[in-house]
Each structure stands twice: as structure tokens, then as C-alpha cells.
Copies of this chain bind each other. A is one copy, B any other.
Amino acid sequence: MTTIRDVAKKAGVSVATVSRFLNSTGYVSQEAAAAVTAAVAELQYELNPVARSLNTKKSNLIGLILPDITNPFFPELARAVEDVALSYGYTVILCNSDEKPEKEKNYIETLKKKYIAGFIVASNQLDAPHYANANLPIVALDRAINEKIPTISSNNKEGAILGTKALLDRGCKNILFLRGPEELNPANDRYDGFMETIQQTDVNFRVVFCPFHFADSQEIAEQALRDDPSIDGIFASSDVSAAGALKAASLLGIAVPDALQVVGFDGVALGEMLTPGLTTVAQDVYKMGAIAARVLIKRIENQEIEQHFYQVPVKLVIRGTTRSVTE
């Protein structure tokens, strides 16, 4: 294997000069730079990336911290991040925090020691200062950490307005809102959109907290439907929760969409697989992941970023869990 010594010998310069030039860690004369470049090309010298990490304290590894890899929203997001990162020569390390702060912290600490180039954080467990002190490029995805950290998210409030109106336009008179976890910004924005819209009407509604998990959502929806059989619309803050609500309706023998209409939020592939297919507020998951990767790489490479806050538009996807619009 060709070593840095071979390159130095061929170029007629010192090993230190080759290292300074290749790692951009100090001044090298134009002549030396040209000689090293020629020697590298001729010898097909490949800079050892671990050695390079040590010298420059940088790598081409990006850490992507996800809260729950078994929620289909996150694999779809991960795939987009990975596609874009790969096209720029970065490798993505996926970290599944399982919504546990210790796991999230362990990943950050472990990967910082590997001289990771930056993080995309879609999880939600640690306090903002923990990230602010990381001294690394960070991008927040589907959450906000603080105003200094670039954030990519859907227009969640707008989406919730769309979803609520979809139920109102289709004649719902008593709507159950499955509100996502209080500590999640996207969930709170969706709640705001729902409240703002519903309060302009005289339609009955109730709000219950509901984690983004299928079984919990099924149980919570089932209880609410038993408590109030006149509920004729459910707006769930995630597709997984909507799947739980649909399952609850099926177990209680409530016909969807005739007696109960359901709208989800996410737009993951799961929604198509359900029967009836799920009407949902679709996020542009791929675009969110792709922007996050691009912004992080710009930060890593010290390029300007145009904006600090990217809000990706959402759209309503009508499938079988809602009826035709009431005239």
C-alpha cells in the first residue's frame, strides 16, 4: 500500500508538508502543492480516512437520531437523509433512541469521539443546552431545538387546519382529536391548528392525549368511542394513531366511513395498506429528510445556508376513511 512517506519521497517534500497540504492544516507553497498533487495522482494514494479523522478531527459520518425506528414515518425519513448524504460522499449512522434519553446521550457521546461530522436530530429527549454545547453542526428535523439550530419541519398547523376542515366539510358533528405527546412541537402545532379551526364552529369536540403508538391509540380510541357513541369523526395526529382508531372502530362494529370518518397525519405507506385506505394529511417525508441532509452538509462544509427555518408544505390525501363532501 502507498503511504504518505512514498508520496513525500515522490514529491520531493517532507511528510509534514504532505500532511499539511492533504489535511488543509497549514501553509504549503504552490510548488509543493503541485508536486504533492502530482505524486498523489501518480501513486493513486488514498488518504486513510481514520488517520484523516485524527488530523482534521472531521469524518464523513453523519449521525441521524430517530426516536422510534418501528414507526414507519422514521424509516421513510431515514431513507431520504441517506440518499442525499450518500450523493455528497457522507455515510449515515442511524441511531434509534427508543425515546430514551440515556440512549440518545450515549449515541452523541460515542459518535463525538469518532469525530462525527454532524448530527440530524429527529428525536426529542434531551434538553436544548445538551445540543447547543455539542460544538458540532446540528440540524433539527421534525422538531425545534433552539433558534440557532436550523430546523426542518412540515407546516403542521396548516396541515391540521386542512385535516379538521376535511372532517367538517364531510358533515362531522362530534369530532375526537387524538392529540400527540405534549413535549413534541409538531404535535402541539397540530393541536393549535385543530383548535383554531374547530372553535370557529359550533361542532362538538373532545381532545385526548394519545402517544404515536398503535396499541395505545387503539385502546384510547376504543375507550372514547364507548364513552360517547355519537362521535362521528376522529382526527388522529399520526397515521399510526389513526390505524389504532380504525382498529377500535372495527372491533366495536362501527362502520367507516358511514358512521365514523377518520383522518390521519403523516402520509406514510401504512395508510394505503389499511382497509379502507386512510385519508390523511401527508407530509412530504422524503423532501424533509433531503433538505435536512443538504443543510447539515452545508454547515459541515462551512457553506452559507439560505435560511434557518424550513417549513415543508403538506397536502390532504383523500382515501376511503372519509365520505364525499356534504353539499
Which secondary structure dominates chain A's binding surface?
helix
CB–CB A247/B269 < 8 A: no
A69 CB contact (under 8 Å) in B79, B86, B244, B274: B79
A290 to chain B: closest CB distance in Å? 15
Judged by a CB distance under 8 angstroms, whether A171 is at the interface is no
Report the Cα distance A214→B273, complex, angstroms. 7
Whether the pair A70, B70 counts as a contact (CB closer than 8 A) is no
Closest to A54 in B: B50
Q: Which residues on A are within 8 Å of B, measured CB to CB?
A: 48-51, 53-54, 59-61, 69-70, 72, 74-76, 78-79, 82, 86, 91-96, 98, 103, 106-107, 110-111, 113-115, 214-215, 240, 243-244, 246-247, 250, 269-270, 272-277
Residue of B nearest to A93 (CB): B93
Query: Are B69 and A114 interface neighbours, CB within 8 A?
Result: no
- Copies per complex of this chain: 2
Question: A94 to B94, Cβ gap below 8 A?
Answer: yes
Distance of A227 Cα from B214 Cα, bound (Å): 36
A274 CB contacts on chain B under 8 angstroms: 273-275
Contacts of A277 in B (CB 8 A): 247
Q: In the complex the two chains form, is B54's CB within 8 Å of A79's CB?
A: no
Which B residues are in CB contact (< 8 Å) with A96?
A: 78-79, 82
Give the distance in Å from the alpha carbon of A106 to the alpha carbon of B60 in the complex: 13
Cα A50 to Cα B117 in complex, Å, equals 14
Residues of B within 8 A of A70 (CB): 72, 75-76, 79, 269
Q: Can you list 22 A-B contacts (CB < 8 A)?
A: A50-B50, A50-B53, A50-B54, A50-B115, A61-B114, A70-B75, A70-B79, A70-B269, A72-B72, A78-B96, A82-B96, A86-B106, A91-B95, A93-B93, A93-B94, A94-B94, A214-B273, A240-B273, A243-B273, A246-B275, A247-B273, A273-B273
